[in-house]
Structure 1
């Protein structure tokens, strides 16, 4: 099975889970809204205080890094909390149960402390990488990007581990690395494939809309242009929400197989092929 076919098969398998529990979309919706609120909460005071002028002049005062670090913590917490709720609910479905939105939030709230601890760790790593990247050039930035990629791979299963095993954030990171190495190696393909498929969908929508835009502009139908823009924005938002939900379901399925638990929604070879064995 080539990468494209495997990615499409993974999307269809994840979509069957999402079709069985459409309410799983609630979690990425709430996460997006909360993320926007957090961003505005930090950005507006910084803008009104003139703090962004220093940043635009490549001057980074200590208060900038302090505010940015706090922003990272809150933002990561919102994302991880919603993802834990999503993965927790998806895990119930993968085990044959019938989860509700309340079940997902119950799981997330029961692991509030570890999620907050992991948010602080992730924020610290993100902050350090950003600080080094801002002072690096060329190969230095490439190296920082590789380190960031390695961190994402190492922590790929942290959220389902937090949702299911109830251990601390540091132990969850260690457990994530151990599970990835234990079975299929370290290079993940499947999740990127999901992104490629949705990227192609968005690209296709743009290609289709371009001649329509041209015709509407030529005919001077301004309201038609506005309507088409609104439709495209709504479609892009919907695509992003579905992709986020499918990624959470896929991560939950990867964890299920990593701990030797089977599910009727995913074929074992499909999940195993999502990893490339390290030579």
Structure 2
């Protein structure tokens, strides 16, 4: 007579199968699951700045040129000079192409950023700094400049979240998590592609096909907010840049809400 299965083995097998189903469900990517249900929405039509809030008093410095958003870092607006989306967003995937057009300012204070987000020090415990031709912009998520996905020419590369990395009150794991794992930027003047995923308080940034931030935790990130393209830089009375300017262009901006 064929022996009956051991009831204990059956229970163990069922528990193992249930555990595998749970693990699969937990580790699957929500954005992958929702692609079939949600649609990409274009945030820039290539013709004008419809859907964006031009800062009052800007006087045409945020503009559309040859199908791209072009900024000369010279907005005449008082106060905030960033270009904000009309709508607010919660969880989403954002695709955007960007490029730095030129780097007329040499930044003398660029640190060497270590993998844990800290700065390399010299023998006296001082931060080692270097001079780098630099322009500076970024993309604000959920309405806060602290959660800015950086665009610049630092050796660490674009995609980091400076506001969190430099916040000494944040846990070390958070500061390390918002530090790019690789410099994936193309050369100055060449186009780059961000794919930015925001889910709850977590951020993933893919740059030119490389995942530079992977599920980075942003404690205190607002539940929803607008997206912004950052202004940075100013000139002195002689017309010389005194900080890295946002000499950038953007195109192919689209979003999928999760």
Q: Do they superpose with TM above 0.5?
A: no
TM range (shorter): under 0.3
Structure with larger RCO (C-alpha < 8 A, sep 6+): 1
- Rg (Cα) greater in structure: 2
Give TM-score, length-normalised by structure 1: 0.23
More helix by share: 1
